[in-house]
Structure 1
Amino acid sequence: MGKSAAAKTTTTATTTTTDAEATAQSSQSSETTQRTESAARLARPLIRLAKASGLATSFIDQLGTYTEISDEALIAVLKALDVDASTPKAVAQSIENLEAAERAQLLPPTIVAVVGKKTRIKLNCAPDADVNISITLEDGSAFTDFTVLPNFNADRPVLTLDADLPMGYHTLTATVVAPDAATTAADAPASTAIPDTRTGTATIINAPERIPVPKAVQEHHRWGWMTQMYSVRSHESWGVGDYGDLKRMLADAAHKTGADFMLINPIHAGAPIPPLEPSPYLPESRRFLNVTYIRPQDIPEYATLSAETRAKVDALHAEVAARNEESTPMDINAAWDAKRPALRLIFDAGRSAEREQAFEAFKAAAGPDLDSFATWCLCFEVWGAPWGENRWFFENTIDDPSVQELVATHRDLFEFNRWLQWIAAEQVTAAQQTATDSGMALGLMQDMAVGVHGLGADAWANPERFATGGVTVGCPPDFYNQQGQDWGQPPFNPRYLEATGYRVYREMVHSMYEHAGAVRIDHMLGLFRLWWIPQGLGARNGAYVMYNHEAMLGVLAIEATRAGGMVVGEDLGTVPDYVRQILAERGVLGTDVEWFSRENDSPNAGDPYKGPEEYRKQALASVTTHDLPPTAGYLTFEHVKLREELHLLSEPVEEFAVAAMAERTAMMNRLVENGYISQSVADDVPAHIQEIVEALHAMLTDTPSLLLQAALVDGVGETRSQNQPGTSSEYSNWRVPLADGEGHVVASGDVFDLPRVQSLAAVMRGERK
């Protein structure tokens, strides 16, 4: 995870229920081995309604503790799904409504099929009904290889699609007319009578059964770098690392170190003007790109500016260029204050007819969501940030006349925001092209955040896509965070996703693969279930809402296959075994981190670590994550010092320090046992930091994992954390520039020439000393 206010950290869960029976049952479970709900609990109408609405009413936490969801949380989460459970009478009525809706539905709105296999779909009508079927393929042509046969055992006809249905997203339309509607209605109770005529439309997601492993990765495992892109700058940067730096780093990483990919922080869209949200994991939109990372000098029109205009752009760059040499936290707002007017100068200078045509093509391909995003940006800039005293987010919808008038009045600013997205897309595409041209097997690995800002563009322009009632996404307590986590993000409404064939998810994933060879999914469990937290109840008192993982995995499989790419799922924390099994079967790589990989997945600091042979093949293996200090800092207990300084500990610092020492000792024991370091090195860690860092990475190369990852901060010897979970303004999260162990800034053009980086790269290539 990567939230600035509450990142990937998790501990023990507690049981919170409201009815007496559930409380007694839960209390009993702490002393026994109860793993499921009692028959009496399952019979309760509220529990039946919750399950029928897609809620999990109990779960097993990371420590294996059986936990039941409280009535209070269930009622509040159901309300967010527009299901009334406020009283026993309301519960009964809601159950009846759900059953009636199910009876009336001719076919599900989303159907997941497997390429190369026949698909059988039960139609909710009489077996002898007259059914008209049409299937329109993604390309607009008709598909006719299907049959409709009665299924008298199930008393429903079955539509069978032949195995030659092509991969993609297709539309199925079914119309049924009962042959004797009067008889059907007379013979059946009113509540179950089938309507005389019904039409149903469904999206068919026909996906490969498994995401194929690219040929280059089949040959042998591949390795790459992980970096926070914004942290690595050059003389041409504007105080913050940009897409130009990314392009240079990808080329150098390939040519100078032999890396095959580079995982960067999410580059989803943020606010159009300050104040900017520093966390890349709390974007305003996941559909579009972060334009603050644009490099003005790389825009083709920069080279053709008049001398006067170019001088103005260069003067704006000069205002912030000196900050590229500073190792103190970056001022992202000051950087954007200088860069944005420079970009406006380039925009106002105009484009050639050919370039204008390319811009128009981009707008057409992006569709109405681009206009919605640009409208939100316009409101933000003219009316102010949508929080505090500015109420436009809540009082003005995108269809309001006042909003449309604003767009008409400030058409140039509206167009400027669309142009920024075009330029950002061009520069990220250029970076990926450079990576593959330089010989990288995958190139850019993009990181997909788990959600969006509650007051962002996606939530404002399309509120129907999200749950109502103030619920937010987080995770229950686990052994990283004893209070649970609330990430403050509104969850996708699973009913909307189903009803629309997952179009919004399809477009988001497609846009990421347009300029990436792999995508990492933050909090991969979110494809299966999300922990919804009702407003005011706290992160501990939420409920899991289930999602159609088959549909979303199908989308990922289609888009990754089309791009020849890979999918990596961040599956750390409270993740059931069945989830990891399904991901592996679908060709999605998991995430194995050395500092988290104890034998039997033990949560206890000091317990033995796994040997390299125990790591998963179907995984991206690394030493660390962005939510831990760089390895040099972790080995010297920077996390202990920082958490004590920020008052983040729920235990005496002495106890935490003992646990940290036990953890380090256990890791040194593993390195010694496997021959990566000597006992004398393990006994004097501070004097052998680089040797130990490289030993930890050498162990990665002995794992069977398909992908291996080294953090650039470990290459240069950085000790400072990029992000401290559980903090916001208390620490400079996501603003720490790349520097070496002595605090000297490392530039994007120099980083892969450093002897220490070269030495770590040699280890990753298997060239041990």
Structure 2
Amino acid sequence: MPLCAAAAPPSGEDQPVTSTPTTDEWGIDAGWLDALDEEHEVAQATIDQLREVIGQPPADLEERAPIVARPGDALEVDRADVVCEDGEVRSIDGELPADFPLGYHWLSSPEGRRRRLIVSPGRCWLPEDRAWGWAVQLYAARSRDSWGIGDLADLRALRRMAADQGASFLLINPLHAVAPTPGQEASPYLPATRRFRNPLYLRVAEVPGAENVDLEEDAGRALSDGSLIDRDAIWARKREVLMRIFFAHGGGEAFARWREEQGQTLQDWATWAAIVEEHGGEWHTWPAELRRPESPELAAYVEQHGAVVGFHAWLQWALDLQFTAATGDMTVIQDLPIGFAGGGADAWAWQDVLAEGVSVGAPPDAFNSQGQDWGSPPLIPWRLRDADYEPFIQSIRATMAGAGGLRIDHVMGLFRLWWVPSGGTAADGAYVRYPAEDLLDIVALESSRAQALVVGEDLGTVEDGVREAMAEHGVLSYRLLWFEDDAPAEWPADAMAAITTHDLPTVTGLWTGEDVEEQREHGTGTEEELQRGRTALLEHLPGLAEGAPVEKAVTRAHELLATAPSKLLSATLDDAVGELRRPNMPGTVDRPNWSLPLPVLVEDLPGHPLLQEVAATLAAGTANDRRPAPGE
């Protein structure tokens, strides 16, 4: 696709960690070095607990685990036959020929062993030219026809606006599905699945068959009257109308063909969603006979509840149609969360690969003295290998599909993840290592096939070697004005450059002091910490007189951003319309995070003067395509 690419908040200053900790055979680091270069030792009790959770891999794991290689690589495998994806059988003897096809193949040894052979180009696809685009919290981008939440028709309108302005991409929040029940999860970074989309984003009037049903559009549009996004009310209304459309239309042969093509993966999702409607969104509490996807009793359940299972499969078909129409020929960089809900569909489907009794987070650091627990269960590294990397492959492929770009949230998690044992605090955790080289090669293979660029969110405590590995694999770094000590003109070329993220202050919120006032209101730090943090961020906006109009602060920030030689320049719609509040304030529980609509409707964005000025500034910046030569 042409380019014309949590929440897991950043944790500390983005400086590399240079110490190499001792790692045991379970992949657990005995210690860790924080962003202030202070060494910490992991408690033995934590190590013992994590060892028990991880368990011992089978003795023959190395003989059956997948081989990830590149054409021309030497292999620790003697003569063997390889059944390629297209059915061709090729023989290899100690190395892969330089012309060996990329893809997912099966290697058979003379002894009859069969194992997966993943052949990667080793580097992600990248566009030739520099480009700029908008970062969009889609749920917040409401129009006059929205039913309380920004939807895929609004994404289509944003894409057209962006194209008219000369932008080449949109970066959007994760659109992954959550449990289809009341109590809708608001955070896009804690989905039930990373493989299917959230039907809240459907434009109901454009679903096939909608023309034959009374949609009660006025009641739907009235959902936008509130000052916040009420996902429970929106889902209740949309589900009721969508169910009527489904029973009246059903999708016909087109849906039937699509459903068959999707196979068991879609069936598992739709089955999980149907069970959730009856038994709740936490599969651990379901009747025992439904807790495993391979349960014999599950087939009987699906037969008895076929209509509801079909409805949830049909919703994904409708989402696929609308997403394709929304993206058109523009690159839409989709966001891949670091994990998924422990009671969700992916956890149910891959329960044998997940670690029980632990969750993913971040250690204490300069950004958060208590550390963080993000609530997602981690994949056990050796079990992930034993599953032929399938959970990872499916998540990358599904999130990348049909859009041309991928942003990997907390990309350091491909190298190591901070595991937090249950019953303890985030400070009681430890780092567990992952097969980063294999995972990056898989990302490169999927990127190459989809012609999709990849951005890695490398904010926070970045271990030595991570950015070098990203660069080697063609994964773009992520650089923020609020975080970088160097001027934007000195930032790397192989990066996405931006001012802020969903977890950090908007320019207007920072400049006016409103963000600090809101932090003070929610008790996210002492007065000294809050003022020191604001002062540090304001240092990144040189050349502005105190008390200058906020429009000048927004313009100045984007003028600085436009000087970055980075391949991608990204501006948030929040900044471009002068929004005071950030989408998410980490560490708060009584704030409506992820539920704040933009103050300007989608139809009115093209005429917004500040937004137009930001667009013109970035367009002019990318028109000057002079970038440093390699090594310069």
Tell me the TM-score normalized by structure 1. Answer: 0.76
Contact 2:81 2:90 in 1 (8 A): yes
Write the distance in 2 (CA, Å) between the matches of 1:34 and 1:558.
29
- Alpha-carbon shift at residue 341 of structure 1 (Å): 1.0
Larger Rg: 1
- Alpha-carbon shift at residue 212 of structure 1 (Å): 3.4
- Alpha-carbon shift at residue 756 of structure 1 (Å): 1.6
Deviation track 1:71-102 (CA, whole Å, cap 9, x = no partner) reads: 1111111111124xxxxxxxxxxxxxx7xx55
Write the distance in 2 (CA, Å) between the matches of 1:121 and 1:496.
22
Write the distance in 1 (CA, Å) between the matches of 2:431 and 2:393.
23
For residues 360-759 of structure 1, the aligned pairs below 5 Å read 360-386=256-282, 391-392=286-287, 396-400=291-295, 403-433=298-328, 436=329, 440=330, 443-468=331-356, 470-598=357-485, 610-649=486-525, 651=526, 653=527, 655-668=528-541, 671-672=542-543, 682-685=544-547, 687-728=548-589, 730-739=590-599, 746-759=600-613
Secondary structure at 1:560 match in 2: helix
Deviation track 1:430-469 (CA, whole Å, cap 9, x = no partner) reads: 1122xx1xxx4xx21100111000111111233112123x
For residues 85-100 of structure 1, the aligned pairs below 5 Å read none
Secondary structure at 1:488 match in 2: coil
- Counterpart in 2 of 1:302? 210
Contact 1:330 1:737 in 2 (8 A): yes
Q: Percent identity?
A: 36
AA at the equivalent of 2:346: D
> 2:100 aligned with 1:205, yes or no?
no
> 2:150 aligned with 1:254, yes or no?
no
Larger CA deviation: 522-531 vs 367-376: 367-376
Of residues 51, 70, 83, the one that matches 1:136 is: 83
Deviation track 1:397-426 (CA, whole Å, cap 9, x = no partner) reads: 334455443322221011101111111111
Write the distance in 2 (CA, Å) between the matches of 1:367 and 1:70.
46
Contact 1:8 1:725 in 2 (8 A): no
Larger CA deviation: 557-566 vs 567-576: 557-566
Question: Tell me, which stretches of 5 or more residues in structure 2 are unaligned?
Answer: 1-5, 624-632
AA at the equivalent of 1:318: D
Between 1 and 2, higher relative CO (CA 8 Å, sep ≥ 6) is seen in 2
> 2:197 aligned with 1:321, yes or no?
no
Secondary structure at 1:234 match in 2: coil
Residues 537, 175 of structure 1: alpha-carbon distance in 2 compared, 3 angstrom cutoff = farther
> 2:67 aligned with 1:111, yes or no?
yes
Deviation track 1:104-162 (CA, whole Å, cap 9, x = no partner) reads: 567351212123xx222224xxxxxxx76210112222122x22xxxxxxxxxxx2221
Contact 1:567 1:588 in 2 (8 A): yes
Deviation track 1:165-205 (CA, whole Å, cap 9, x = no partner) reads: 111111111134xxxxxxxxxxxxxxxxxxxxxx4332222
Contact 1:268 1:289 in 2 (8 A): yes
AA at the equivalent of 1:546: R
Question: Tell me, which stretches of 5 or more residues in structure 1 are unaligned?
Answer: 13-32, 43-49, 84-97, 124-130, 148-158, 177-198, 599-609, 673-681, 740-745
Contact 2:102 2:445 in 1 (8 A): yes
Contact 2:223 2:233 in 1 (8 A): no
Secondary structure at 2:194 match in 1: strand
Contact 1:296 1:302 in 2 (8 A): yes
Of residues 70, 88, 92, the one that matches 2:43 is: 70
- Counterpart in 1 of 2:630? none
Secondary structure at 1:725 match in 2: coil
> 2:102 aligned with 1:167, yes or no?
yes
- Counterpart in 1 of 2:76? 122
- Alpha-carbon shift at residue 582 of structure 1 (Å): 0.6
AA at the equivalent of 2:491: Y
AA at the equivalent of 1:337: A
- Alpha-carbon shift at residue 367 of structure 1 (Å): 2.3
Write the distance in 1 (CA, Å) between the matches of 2:574 and 2:45.
45
AA at the equivalent of 1:514: A
Contact 2:66 2:115 in 1 (8 A): yes
Write the distance in 1 (CA, Å) between the matches of 2:79 and 2:291.
43
AA at the equivalent of 1:253: A
Contact 2:209 2:245 in 1 (8 A): yes
Contact 1:633 1:720 in 2 (8 A): yes
Write the distance in 1 (CA, Å) between the matches of 2:492 and 2:569.
11
Number of corresponding residues: 615
Deviation track 1:280-306 (CA, whole Å, cap 9, x = no partner) reads: 000000011111111111123223x1x
